[in-house]
Amino acid sequence: MSADYFPLNTMETNPIADTWSELIGDIKREYLSEANIYPWIIGFSGGKDSTVLTHAVFEALMTISPSRRTRPIHIVSNDTLVESPLVITHLNNVSRKIEQAIADMGLPITVVRTQPDPDKTFWVLLIGKGYPSPNMSMRWCTDRLKIQPTSGYIKNQVSEAGAAIVLLGVRRDESQARQRSIDKRHNIEGTRLVPHESLAGAFIYRPIMNLTVDEVWEILGTYHAPWGGTHHALIKLYRDSEGGECPVVLSSDEAPGCGTSNSRFGCWTCTVVEKDKSLQGFVDAGKEHFQPLIEFRDWLKSIRNSPAMRQLIRRNGKLSFDTSGKHIPGPFTIQARQEILRRLLKVQSAFGEPLISDAEMQLIYKHWADELQATGELAHV
């Protein structure tokens, strides 16, 4: 079963009803558990799995009397600032609906959007500091753009409350690697919680880990969204992109979920994947204005190891070689960074929507000036 249209049915006539009811009941019991009074933090990417998880939490809360809704819940999304434009538009639309539903229903939920620090955005690091385009062995983007912003928010909640429970929409049948990751972590005795391996005071709760992908799609196609309307826009997004979302990532152990053949809903700039299947899917579905983005990404990937584009010396000031004696190049040259920026601005003009901010441009120019001044080359530029 794929991301096709499912007719909306009633719980009495649809065979998924028992599974859905059991899931909501489990979440309700966990929410009301006297042993766990700490806030919940839902990792919400806007993709199919995190949407089903968030939907189920809403349904569970609505079966609980207002006087017993005492545990605060945070719905946390991450914006790398280079998200696929259609995906971030969908996330923005759904987040607004969720915020309005929270206000209308009086639910103890806060919607949060994390972003990388201004000096750690993709463009500032790549064009400003000259970081080479990310690849599988040097995936610096995942830590700076995804892990640090969201982990920082979780750490703040742990600091305020003493601990926090992170709800993730991960499932065993996503991949063999995901299944091994889930199975190797042991629950705290008597609970559904697993201590996070790198975030002290954070515990993982995975309510939908036993759902199959068919069950996820059937739930999305069967039940109206509790924040209004249906999930059909999400289903269409998957159908057009022919991809899957890049999931919420909280540590380097989970990083393989981002930038792989199984996670095509990620950054439009992603040079880790061989081919951006989601953007190509959008183009094939009639959205030809994404073609310049695809061509720019492909070019950015192609220049990564070009000797003419890279400095001889690494950022640590050393000339480096690997164990075989092969030279390890340094960052992109200033000239290469200027060319990247020139092409990016040309693509931005053709695309018709912002791809880089004025604040990022200012930081980029500052990094260039500082670097050129340090090397004594400023007067020649």
**pLDDT (tens digit, 9 = 90+) per residue, 235-292?**
999 988 765 556 566 666 555 456 555 445 789 999 998 888 888 888 888 989 999 9
10 three-state secondary structure: coil
What's residue 336's pLDDT? 97
Write down how long the chain is: 381
Q: What gap in Å lies between CA 169 and CA 141, rounded to an integer?
A: 22
Q: What gap in Å lies between CA 313 and CA 349, rounded to an integer?
A: 34
- Radius of gyration (C-alpha) of the chain in whole angstroms: 22
Q: Residue 362 corresponds to which tokens in the numbers above?
A: 């200012």
Virtual torsion, Cα 134, 140, 146, 148, nearest 10 deg: -170
- Rounded to 5 degrees, φ, ψ at 63 are -95, 0
In a domain, 379, yes or no: no
In a domain, 240, yes or no: yes
What's residue 1's pLDDT? 43
CB neighbour list of residue 322: distance below 8 Å, 6 or more residues apart: 328
pLDDT band at 190 (very low <50, low <70, confident <90, very high): very low
What's residue 246's pLDDT? 61
Residue in this structure with the two tokens 């915020």, named with its chain if needed: 99
Which of the pair, 374 or 107, is modelled with greater confidence? 107
75 three-state secondary structure: strand
- pLDDT digit string, tens, across residues 37-73: 899 999 999 999 999 999 999 999 999 999 999 999 9
The amino acid occupying position 273 is V
Find the domain containing 50 and state its range: 1-374
Question: Is the predicted pLDDT of residue 74 greater than 60, yes or no?
Answer: yes
For the chain, the first-to-last Cα distance in angstroms comes to 58
Q: What gap in Å lies between CA 69 and CA 327, rounded to an integer?
A: 60
Q: What gap in Å lies between CA 56 and CA 226, rounded to an integer?
A: 9
Residue in this structure with the two tokens 């969908």, named with its chain if needed: 90
Q: Output the CA–CA distances (angstroms, integers) from residue 83 to 45, 149, 248, in the order listed.
A: 11, 15, 13
In a domain, 335, yes or no: yes
Across the range 168-185, mean pLDDT stands at 67
What's residue 17's pLDDT? 95
- pLDDT digit string, tens, across residues 298-320: 999 999 999 999 997 777 667 76
Query: Which residues pair with residue 255 across a beta bridge?
Result: none
CB neighbour list of residue 370: distance below 8 Å, 6 or more residues apart: none
CATH number at residue 111: 3.40.50.620
Shortest CA distance to 367 belongs to which of 315, 321, 317, 302?
315
Burial 39-67 (b: 16+ CB within 10 A, else e): bbbbbbbbbbbbbbbbbbbbbbbeeeeee
Question: Is the predicted pLDDT of residue 14 greater than 70, yes or no?
Answer: no
Mean pLDDT of all residues in the chain? 87
In a domain, 67, yes or no: yes
Across the range 309-338, mean pLDDT stands at 82
Q: Specify the number of domains making up the chain.
A: 1
What's residue 381's pLDDT? 45
Question: Is the predicted pLDDT of residue 184 greater than 70, yes or no?
Answer: no
Q: What percent of the chain has pLDDT over 70?
A: 83
Q: What gap in Å lies between CA 139 and CA 143, rounded to an integer?
A: 8
Q: Residue 274 corresponds to which tokens in the numbers above?
A: 């061989």
- pLDDT digit string, tens, across residues 123-140: 999 999 999 999 998 899
In a domain, 237, yes or no: yes
The amino acid occupying position 146 is K
Residue in this structure with the two tokens 């919420």, named with its chain if needed: 248
In a domain, 380, yes or no: no
In a domain, 381, yes or no: no
In a domain, 17, yes or no: yes
Least confident range of 57-71, 147-161, 198-212, 308-322: 308-322
